[in-house]
Amino acid sequence: DTAVSQTPKYLVTQMGNDKSIKCEQNLGHDTMYWYKQDSKKFLKIMFSYNNKELIINETVPNRFSPKSPDKAHLNLHINSLELGDSAVYFCASSHLASNEQFFGPGTRLTVL
Amino acid sequence: GEDVEQSLFLSVREGDSSVINCTYTDSSSTYLYWYKQEPGAGLQLLTYIFSNMDMKQDQRLTVLLNKKDKHLSLRIADTQTGDSAIYFCAERERGSTLGRLYFGRGTQLTVWP
């Protein structure tokens, strides 16, 4: 299946832990994104990578570090997790100049 | 600014038309989008409209854009229970080659049988 996939789908962890979320796309896109959707469904961009280079870095705590090993992958590592990090994290991809972004199914992170 | 506003809830009866409204503040937006999010799922792009257009129709979906009032609407004809979802309006800022989108908070559409 051609798609944007994320793992894991659910992640429950304790405060202070470090965790990673993985994203992969097999659509041949050159740009990938991470979005955060809070409990009120507000969706906001966090990062974007184009050809493995960081091009968007919104005001996000530096505990969040994206890593793009290749154009098809964009992982999100979070250090010292806090309660406020609980949210659904969506990965997306597109061709940079395209009008269409394709979203993954989301990872629901719960920090206890 | 990139404020995108939507009403939070809309309920309609099956077979009726649904109209979901959105207002935005960035007059230089180039593209405006409608995404659908079903429970537990990611966002699915439904349609988008370029800012120099007034209307776009795609089967049961009609998008109307009023640039003067910075108002975007999505009309779903013959609404079905399967249309129940959250609908997000989003804008892409002019000159943004970075693909940055700004989303509204979403409108929860509930369709009653």
Tens of pLDDT, residues A39-68? 888 888 898 888 888 877 777 888 999 999
Identify the closest residue of chain B to A89 by CA–CA distance.
Answer: B42
Among B48, B86, B97, the residue with its CB nearest the CB of A96 is B97
Position B108 scores a pLDDT of: 96
Query: What is the rounded CA–CA span in Å between residue A17 and residue A82?
Result: 9
Q: Among all chains, which residue has been given the structure tokens 């184009």?
A: A50
Q: Is A53 on the interface with B (CB under 8 A)?
A: no
**Selected residue with higher pLDDT from A42 and B36:** B36
Averaged pLDDT, A77-97? 93
CA-based R_g, chain A, Å:
13
Q: For residues A57 and A66, what is the distance between their CA atoms, to the nearest angstrom? A: 10
pLDDT number for residue B12? 97
- Phi, psi for A15 (deg, rounded to 5): -55, 140
Determine the Cα–Cα distance for residues A9 and B60; give it in Å rounded to an integer.
32
Strand order through the sheet with B4-6: B4-6, B18-24, B71-76, B61-66, B55-58
At B42-57, the pLDDT tens digits run: 899 999 998 888 999 9
pLDDT bracket for residue B35 (50, 70, 90): very high
Q: A25-39, A94-108, B33-47, B53-67: lowest mean pLDDT where?
A: A94-108
pLDDT of residue B1: 41
| Least reliable range by pLDDT among A29-43, A62-76, B90-104 | B90-104
Q: Which residues of B35-57 are buried (b: 16+ CB within 10 A; e: fewer)?
A: bbbeeeebbebbbbbeeeeeeee
The SS3 of residue A85 is helix
Q: How many residues does chain A have?
A: 112
- Confidence bin at A9 (pLDDT 50/70/90): very high
State mean pLDDT over A7-14. 96
* Residue B90 and residue B103 in contact, taking contact as beta carbons nearer than 8 Å: yes
φ and ψ at residue B105, rounded to 5 degrees: -85, -5
Backbone phi, psi, residue B77, to 5°: -85, 150
Task: Tell me how many residue pairs between chain A and chain B have CB atoms under 8 A apart.
Answer: 54
Q: What is the mean pLDDT of chain A?
A: 90
Check B105 against A96: CB less than 8 A apart: no
Residue with the two structure tokens 């959250």: B86
Using a CB–CB cutoff of 8 Å, tell me whether A111 touches chain B.
no
Distance CA B21, CA A18 (A): 40
The token duo for B83 is 């249309």
pLDDT score at A53 = 81
The Cα–Cα gap between A43 and A39 comes to 10
